[in-house]
Amino acid sequence: MNNYNDYTKITSYIGMNSGRNFDLVNPEKSTLTIQDVAHALSNTCRFNGHCDRFYSVAEHSVMVSYLIEQEFAFDGLMHDISEAVLGDVSTPLKKLLPDYHVIEDRVEASLFKRYGIAYPLIPQVKKADLTALAIEKRDLMPRSGEWPVLNGIIIPEGFTAIGMPPEVAKKRFLERHRELVDLFVKKYTDSQKDVDSGITAG
């Protein structure tokens, strides 16, 4: 008889679409390719699914990369990379789970180091992230009332939260990555260059 309350059999590994495993306790020892990232983020819906239509973290990430200065575009694209293995946990829930921040911080620090992303995130990325959030609220959650965090945020013209199907968002994310990687791949660690070598062209 199965004992569904026996948590001793639960490991710290999660399985990924590529067939690899990622250890949440020891992220430094785990392999994560850009294909793993794109696949997961394109299938992860923002706002816990409470938007008017499906809207992925991948689409959000691409938007952030265009809302920021070119020199920081790679950091903008990859700023939510940890959500490829942790999921998109809402900010209110994070505040109720202090232990979650310990795991999130360790995973982020490990992944940011591999891809040469400044840790913690630079102010330019945080501002672009909030600008994207304002666009997404306007286009996807118009009935959700006021969000004080967005006070003072100016929405630039020409940006829309479309709500692409996962396969389209994945393609756009990988295309944007290929576009930026030639400019910023020097930021990668040598080991991550080896991991993603040849993969980004697929």
The 10s digit of each residue's pLDDT in 86-96 is: 999 998 999 99
Fold of 17-190: Hypothetical protein af1432 (1.10.3210)
Residue 10: predicted pLDDT:
77
Residues 140-148 have a mean pLDDT of: 96
Buried-exposed string 83-98: b where 16+ CB fall within 10 A, e elsewhere: bbbbebeeeeeeeeee
Write down the residue that tokens 């939260």 correspond to.
161
Kindly report the average pLDDT of the chain as a whole number.
91
User: Per residue in 164-194, pLDDT tens?
Assistant: 999 999 999 999 999 998 877 666 666 776 7
Q: What angle do CA 101, 92, 134 make, to 5 degrees?
A: 110
* pTM for the whole structure: 0.90
